[in-house]
Amino acid sequence: MDETFLEEWSTKLNVPVEKLKQEFELAKGEMQSHFPNQAPEALFEKAKFKLKVQYKRAFMSNAIPLVGIVIASDAPRDMWGNIRAKQMARYEKAKDEALKTGDESILQAEFDNKVVRLAEVEKDGQMVEVIIPLCPRNKSNGEPSKVAGNDIPETEDSQTQLVYGICTPVGKTEARGFILELRGQACNQELHEGKIVNFKALKRAFETDKPKEPYNLYTNATEFIPTDDAYIKEGLEKLGGINGMITHFFSNNIATWADVNAWFKAKKEDPKCEPIPEKFSNNIMILPDSLCQYQNFQADAKNRIKLNICGMGDDVEDVTILCLADKKLDASIDFAQDSKVIALGRPFLPPPKEDGSMVFMLMTSGMFAYPDWKIPRVDVEKLSEKELMQKAPPLQKPVEEKKEAPKPVAPAPVAEPAPQPAPTTVAKGTDPW
């Protein structure tokens, strides 16, 4: 019986086909135990129906199946983090005052005003009391809040994460850039940057049909599943790899090293100057034609790795940029130092220090090497000096070789260059990429 429908469902539901196959086998076994006397065809249809009911909610979702490449992602941001911290700080302050003065009404007022509440939760098989911060009465703009007094959501439910890339709806040839907002527990997952993946998302209400504008997407639940797609591969080939796709679909976010140098000099003269150009104020800045000078994949206290990049022009006064990236970016960096790269992230240029020094920083969310300038990254095993000496081959005394005088060689005839074929051109508007 034909089970190819599982591959179609895998794309539509954004579920790995291997997982669907396992669940379908379990469903067939269950139907066999319930209806042992029915024909295999009937059991097949019952198992298929059971699997469909199992994913009923996903089938009814308006999320669109997409295929594309993730190029960058920001670190997840807790939408309620600051408010949660303020409510807890207010509670701790009242608690300290109540202990100092002996007046318990100071602390009780925080419960009466619905700043916090006391709750019992199960932890390690026992019920323990915890303090739950509550939503304040007013919003940050002073207006009354509709959720005042409700529990502030946990970080896992209130966080958001922006993801950037190129994609097209499955089965269509409508490739565009995309900006995807992951919400809640959809954050902090493996994105497989630089690889072709399937995922699902919803379009925002203000989504535009203009082909040069990026898709504006959001989702509360999806998975980025590595796949293979002929249309995306065609784009990679025609645009010269992922670097070409980035500059093609995110041209409005591209800054040059001349822009970087100009802003650096202007900031040094006037610390209050605005970013130059406005591209530095976008959610993400793209800086092509960069040289990766330095790499340090040892995570710091904030779980960040460090890379240095500079321009590749003739200007020796080019600024060196310190790239700070989350440790997870380490998995997608497959190039070594001295490779030509394209960097993506948020620029940050603080005012000069007292000694006049300045550091241009890029909160890096993506970095890829150009194919013709890529030096493969090789992680070398770290050995002690003693281990290195043990692994090193024994030194041998060099043997002197007798050198004979070189014999005269007649110059080789100069070959005439072969005629080159005329370059082929593609009519404007006929190439889908």
Q: What CATH number is given to the structural domain containing 282?
A: 2.40.50.140
Q: Which two tokens stand for residue 253?
A: 């976010």
- 338 and 267 together in one domain: yes
- 15 and 125 together in one domain: no
Question: Is residue 379 a part of any domain in this protein?
Answer: no
Domain end residue (candidates: 353, 373, 393) = 373
Cα angle for residues 73, 76, 79 (degrees, 5° grid): 135
Question: Is residue 407 a part of any domain in this protein?
Answer: no
**Under DSSP, is residue 33 helix (H, G, I), strand (E, B) or coil?**
helix
- 122 and 167 together in one domain: no
pTM: 0.73
Whole-number average pLDDT of the chain: 83
- 242 and 264 together in one domain: no
- 99 and 147 together in one domain: yes
Cα 213 from Cα 242, distance rounded (Å) = 18
Q: What is the pLDDT along the chain (433 residues), one digit of tens a residue?
A: 788 888 888 877 878 888 888 888 888 888 888 888 888 888 888 888 888 888 877 776 788 899 999 999 988 999 899 999 999 999 999 999 999 999 999 999 999 999 999 998 888 888 888 999 999 998 888 889 999 999 999 888 899 999 999 999 998 899 999 999 999 989 999 999 999 999 999 988 665 667 678 899 999 989 999 999 999 999 999 998 999 999 999 988 899 998 888 888 888 888 888 766 666 766 789 999 999 999 999 999 999 999 999 998 776 567 899 999 999 899 889 999 999 999 999 998 888 888 888 899 999 999 999 988 999 998 654 444 445 445 444 444 444 455 555 555 555 555 454 444 444 443 444 455 7
Residue whose tokens read 């699902």: 200
What contacts 83, CB < 8 A, 6 or more positions away?
133, 135, 136, 152
Domain end residue (candidates: 179, 214, 249) = 249
- Print the domain residue range for 354: 253-373
- 270 and 367 together in one domain: yes
Domain end residue (candidates: 249, 270, 304) = 249
Question: Is residue 305 a part of any domain in this protein?
Answer: yes
- 192 and 244 together in one domain: yes
- 172 and 262 together in one domain: no
Cα 275 from Cα 263, distance rounded (Å) = 6
Question: Is residue 184 a part of any domain in this protein?
Answer: yes
Is 202 within 8 Å of 169 (Cβ atoms)? no
Is 264 within 8 Å of 347 (Cβ atoms)? no
204 vs 119, 207, 283, CA distance in Å? Answer: 37, 5, 18
Question: Is residue 408 a part of any domain in this protein?
Answer: no
Q: What tens digit of pLDDT does each residue of 356-397 get?
A: 888 999 999 999 999 889 999 986 544 444 454 454 444 444
- 174 and 244 together in one domain: yes
**Under DSSP, is residue 86 helix (H, G, I), strand (E, B) or coil?**
helix
- 103 and 26 together in one domain: no
- 24 and 90 together in one domain: no
Cα 119 from Cα 129, distance rounded (Å) = 6
* Cis before 277? omega within 30: yes
Question: Is residue 396 a part of any domain in this protein?
Answer: no
Cα 428 from Cα 433, distance rounded (Å) = 11
Question: Is residue 106 a part of any domain in this protein?
Answer: yes
Number of domains in the chain: 4
Instruction: Decide the pairing of beta strands 176-183 and 215-219.
Output: parallel
- 237 and 278 together in one domain: no
Question: Is residue 394 a part of any domain in this protein?
Answer: no
